[in-house]
Amino acid sequence: MGFTSDLLYGIAERLQAAEVATWRPTGSYQVGETPIVMQSMPATPDRCVTLAAYDVASPLADHCVTGVQVRCRGTRDPRVVDDLTDDVRDALHGLGAHGPVELHGIHVALVVRNSSADLGPDGNGRFETTSNFYVTAARPSALLTD
Protein backbone atom coordinates (compact mmCIF):
# COMPACT_ATOMS: atom_id res chain seq x y z
CA MET A 1 0.00 0.00 0.00
CA GLY A 2 1.00 3.61 -0.38
CA PHE A 3 1.46 6.35 2.18
CA THR A 4 -2.17 7.57 2.15
CA SER A 5 -3.70 4.09 2.43
CA ASP A 6 -1.30 3.16 5.23
CA LEU A 7 -2.08 6.38 7.10
CA LEU A 8 -5.85 5.88 6.85
CA TYR A 9 -5.54 2.22 7.88
CA GLY A 10 -3.44 3.32 10.86
CA ILE A 11 -6.05 5.87 11.93
CA ALA A 12 -8.79 3.24 11.53
CA GLU A 13 -6.75 0.84 13.68
CA ARG A 14 -6.27 3.57 16.29
CA LEU A 15 -10.01 4.30 16.42
CA GLN A 16 -10.75 0.60 16.83
CA ALA A 17 -8.14 0.22 19.58
CA ALA A 18 -9.81 3.12 21.41
CA GLU A 19 -13.16 1.31 20.98
CA VAL A 20 -14.66 4.23 19.04
CA ALA A 21 -15.80 2.11 16.09
CA THR A 22 -14.99 -1.16 14.30
CA TRP A 23 -12.41 -1.45 11.53
CA ARG A 24 -12.58 -4.45 9.22
CA PRO A 25 -10.46 -4.01 6.06
CA THR A 26 -12.69 -6.56 4.32
CA GLY A 27 -15.68 -4.25 4.77
CA SER A 28 -17.79 -7.01 6.30
CA TYR A 29 -19.51 -5.71 9.43
CA GLN A 30 -21.95 -7.27 11.86
CA VAL A 31 -25.28 -5.82 12.92
CA GLY A 32 -24.82 -3.40 15.80
CA GLU A 33 -21.24 -2.43 14.92
CA THR A 34 -20.22 1.12 14.05
CA PRO A 35 -18.11 0.59 10.93
CA ILE A 36 -15.09 2.59 9.86
CA VAL A 37 -15.03 2.93 6.07
CA MET A 38 -12.89 4.75 3.54
CA GLN A 39 -13.91 7.69 1.34
CA SER A 40 -17.71 7.53 1.07
CA MET A 41 -20.48 7.08 3.59
CA PRO A 42 -22.58 3.95 3.00
CA ALA A 43 -26.38 4.06 3.17
CA THR A 44 -26.41 1.78 6.24
CA PRO A 45 -25.98 1.40 9.16
CA ASP A 46 -27.02 4.61 10.92
CA ARG A 47 -23.84 4.97 13.01
CA CYS A 48 -20.76 5.15 10.81
CA VAL A 49 -17.30 6.75 10.59
CA THR A 50 -15.75 7.60 7.21
CA LEU A 51 -12.08 8.52 6.65
CA ALA A 52 -10.66 10.46 3.70
CA ALA A 53 -7.24 12.08 3.26
CA TYR A 54 -6.15 15.24 1.46
CA ASP A 55 -2.84 17.08 1.07
CA VAL A 56 -2.21 20.13 3.24
CA ALA A 57 1.50 20.96 3.08
CA SER A 58 5.03 19.62 2.77
CA PRO A 59 6.97 22.06 4.96
CA LEU A 60 10.09 19.89 5.25
CA ALA A 61 11.82 17.62 2.79
CA ASP A 62 11.11 14.51 4.86
CA HIS A 63 7.77 15.40 6.50
CA CYS A 64 4.33 16.39 5.32
CA VAL A 65 1.03 17.52 6.79
CA THR A 66 -1.87 15.42 5.59
CA GLY A 67 -5.44 16.34 6.34
CA VAL A 68 -7.76 13.54 7.38
CA GLN A 69 -11.46 14.23 7.23
CA VAL A 70 -13.41 12.14 9.72
CA ARG A 71 -17.10 12.19 8.93
CA CYS A 72 -19.41 10.76 11.58
CA ARG A 73 -23.05 9.83 11.26
CA GLY A 74 -25.38 8.96 14.10
CA THR A 75 -29.12 8.60 14.42
CA ARG A 76 -32.02 11.04 14.48
CA ASP A 77 -30.89 11.91 18.02
CA PRO A 78 -28.12 14.53 17.58
CA ARG A 79 -26.48 13.48 20.86
CA VAL A 80 -25.45 10.16 19.27
CA VAL A 81 -23.29 11.81 16.60
CA ASP A 82 -21.97 14.37 19.11
CA ASP A 83 -20.79 11.54 21.38
CA LEU A 84 -19.22 9.68 18.44
CA THR A 85 -17.45 12.85 17.31
CA ASP A 86 -16.16 13.45 20.86
CA ASP A 87 -14.85 9.88 21.00
CA VAL A 88 -12.98 10.36 17.71
CA ARG A 89 -11.43 13.58 19.00
CA ASP A 90 -10.40 11.93 22.26
CA ALA A 91 -8.71 9.08 20.35
CA LEU A 92 -6.78 11.26 17.89
CA HIS A 93 -6.25 14.86 19.04
CA GLY A 94 -2.77 15.24 20.48
CA LEU A 95 -1.56 11.83 19.36
CA GLY A 96 2.22 12.07 19.18
CA ALA A 97 2.43 15.02 21.57
CA HIS A 98 4.45 12.90 24.02
CA GLY A 99 6.63 11.36 21.36
CA PRO A 100 6.22 10.04 17.83
CA VAL A 101 3.88 7.11 17.19
CA GLU A 102 3.59 4.62 14.37
CA LEU A 103 0.29 4.16 12.54
CA HIS A 104 0.35 1.18 10.17
CA GLY A 105 4.03 1.78 9.40
CA ILE A 106 3.76 5.58 9.12
CA HIS A 107 5.87 7.54 11.61
CA VAL A 108 3.59 10.27 12.98
CA ALA A 109 4.92 13.28 14.88
CA LEU A 110 1.59 14.88 15.78
CA VAL A 111 -2.16 14.71 15.13
CA VAL A 112 -4.34 17.73 15.91
CA ARG A 113 -7.97 18.47 15.17
CA ASN A 114 -7.92 21.60 13.05
CA SER A 115 -11.65 22.13 12.62
CA SER A 116 -15.05 20.52 12.92
CA ALA A 117 -18.56 21.24 11.73
CA ASP A 118 -22.10 20.07 12.22
CA LEU A 119 -23.46 18.90 8.85
CA GLY A 120 -27.04 18.61 10.09
CA PRO A 121 -29.28 15.70 9.21
CA ASP A 122 -28.94 13.64 6.03
CA GLY A 123 -31.87 12.73 3.79
CA ASN A 124 -32.97 10.12 6.35
CA GLY A 125 -32.83 12.52 9.31
CA ARG A 126 -29.57 11.09 10.73
CA PHE A 127 -27.26 13.77 12.12
CA GLU A 128 -23.73 14.10 10.74
CA THR A 129 -20.53 15.92 11.64
CA THR A 130 -17.15 16.33 10.05
CA SER A 131 -13.77 16.89 11.71
CA ASN A 132 -10.50 17.74 10.01
CA PHE A 133 -7.34 16.41 11.61
CA TYR A 134 -3.87 17.52 10.52
CA VAL A 135 -1.32 14.71 10.65
CA THR A 136 2.36 15.66 10.62
CA ALA A 137 4.20 12.55 9.46
CA ALA A 138 7.46 11.35 7.97
CA ARG A 139 7.24 11.09 4.21
CA PRO A 140 10.74 11.00 2.77
CA SER A 141 11.23 11.66 -0.91
CA ALA A 142 14.22 10.81 -3.03
CA LEU A 143 13.60 14.02 -5.00
CA LEU A 144 13.85 16.37 -2.03
CA THR A 145 16.82 16.75 0.29
CA ASP A 146 17.58 19.10 3.19
Tens of pLDDT, residues 80-134: 999 999 999 999 999 999 999 999 999 999 999 999 999 999 999 999 999 999 9
Q: CA angle 93-41-76, nearest 5°?
A: 85
Q: Do you know the residue count of the chain?
A: 146
- pLDDT, residue 142, reads 72
Percent of the chain with pLDDT over 90: 85
Q: For the whole model, what pTM was predicted? A: 0.93
Given this model, what pLDDT does residue 60 score? 64
Q: Which domains are present in the chain?
A: 3-25+47-138 (3.30.2000.10)
pLDDT mean over 53-60: 83
Percent of the chain with pLDDT over 70: 95
Q: What's the CA gap between 73 and 82, in Å, rounded?
A: 9
Instruction: Give helix 78-92 / helix 3-17 axis angle, nearest 10°.
Output: 110
